[in-house]
Structure 1
Amino acid sequence: MLINNMYTARSLFNLHRCVGVGCLKNFSGGLPWSPTVKKLEYPSLLSRSSESPSMGHKFPWSVTSRLMSTNTLQYEHLIVSVQHGVRTISFNRPGKKNAINEKMFDEIVAALQEAANDPETIITATTGVGTVYCAGNDKNNFTDITMTEIRDLLTRHMAAFIDFPKPLVAVVNGAAVGVGSTLLPLYDAVFATEKAVFFTPFSALSITAEGCSSFTYHRLMGRGKAAGMLLFNEKVTATEACKCGLVTEVFPDATFQDEVWARLHAMARLPIKSLIYSKALIRDLYKDVLHQVNIEECKRVTECFGRLADPEKKDYQEFIRTNWQ
């Protein structure tokens, strides 16, 4: 079967239905719209050598080496800890409801790479410091960088979640807004307190969806619920999110922390090779589609930021010309 470049949105949406050996043969030559991001080599990730004591793998979307020290105290806006095979990445801007600023976008990429490279990390979990999981993009972002830099920053941030090879779990301890919600379908499990809410007010902010949610939300929820969240600013409770597949399990708030971390430590006793290979089998079939969706989403949301700032600015006009004309 020849896959044409002129894929419709419906064709992209239906790619997840493709299963079995015949489907894998269809994809053997790679998708025609595949980005230049190199696919992860999972076998090499699992083998250690004298040259690569930390599993010998560097992600193609890695950020500068100054963020890659194994000393987790390097992070300004994250708290990272490892205990009994569980690595916890805590968003640490409670005064800003854990909204992600420009530096934090790249810190999260670096923290995920650190987790992937660490042979002692089996399960990686993200959570928020305080009572909010993540309030999304900081409204004060993107005032001093070019639109191309904005696009690239967002693209590599989302790509880090697409390509992360180990089990990734979200411990949603409160509100998950914007990118704090849209990225959740790229996780392998999402555990939420009963008090959590999920909110993606893109149209209210005059911007567009990101985090691959324009693809993943429809797959999880169906057309109506996805449109309600991504187009019409519908706020969803933890129970509703669980019913539509965005959340794996909801816990009573009083016992949330104890129950979830006990669950994660039990998961961390599972064999890492099996986890990595199984995740690759699940994810790789449509990873190229996710990367392309990410590229297009980040281009469009960047255009929205530029238009809101100053559509007459030369940087905006140049961005439009180089990305669409």
Structure 2
Amino acid sequence: MLYEIYHNNHWPMLSIKGALLLCLIGIGFASCKKNTSEVDTLQSKLASGMVSYVEEGNVLALNGSNYSFTPHYIGVPVLLNKAAKTNDTVTSVVDPSLVSQYNQIYQEKNPSIPLGAFLVSHNGAFAVEKGSAQAKDSIYVLLDDGSQLKDSTTYLVPVTLAAKKGSQLKYSVFFFKVFVTKGDLKAKMYDVSTIDGTQANRLGSGAIDVTYDVVPESVNLRTTLTTLFPAHDVSVKATLLTQDELNDAITNEFFPGIPMPDNTAALSKDLVYVPAKSLLSGDYLTLHFPNKANLQTFQWYVMGVKIVTYTASEYGVPPVANDSCRAYIRFFLSN
């Protein structure tokens, strides 16, 4: 969710911010300098009703590469005090040096931002037509390289603006606060097809578990990502659990029965794709049972499927580290 943060122009007489500003003003007069300090200059810009906006940035790691996204932002209008006398362009850049000045004025502890971590939207250029008091495009910041940023941290991103042909800007500084999260992109099982009223359950270990009283022609399994990945379609691959893995699962999950014999089941489709900006795979892993006739009645059988890393593509998503990447399919054949 996005929030607008408006800095109050009227401070209480005894507030810390008010006291600090009075001190800054006093220092300015006492110094008898003709030019105001950098902090005083910044404060004079803020005094006109400066607004800051909260955005969200994500940094996702996939196979050794970091991808930076800005999933949530708000476009802020670039306004003039009066209509432009001629076609003009407002240019804007991120100015990391203003972070310390902002902190001094507002008694905050915003961390410094590395150069190049954030960019201004529309390449920092905003066209204003003659007779208009507002640019065609709105301004916001984009997370461009979050590799040096910290997880779950809010960064103050100052943006300065200037008009090339002298149009008078309503605001010459914007402050954006970007909450950055970092993590690894992983894949897990989402659901499995059911028949005749059977239901899939999520075990305490995280694995999906489904039980059938007949062996269907096929079973479809859908995968999901741990978070959205806007950069590119990604691939998720799966394989059958081995006999040793099935024996461990029977012990750990207290399943009745025995592992389904090898060659009874096969993955006729073991690779699926998740479209960019989607969580769920667009197609299904498909499990067939070519030798189901060899199974005995009145016997519990356990088999399973797990996600593995698809190494043939840089966009192959590895599985989560827990059993949420698994699905157990169990059978009790009564006839």
Using the size of structure 2 for normalisation, the TM-score is: 0.19
- Larger strand proportion of the pair: 2
Higher helix fraction (1 or 2): 1
Larger Rg belongs to: 2
Structure 1 length as normaliser, TM-score?
A: 0.19
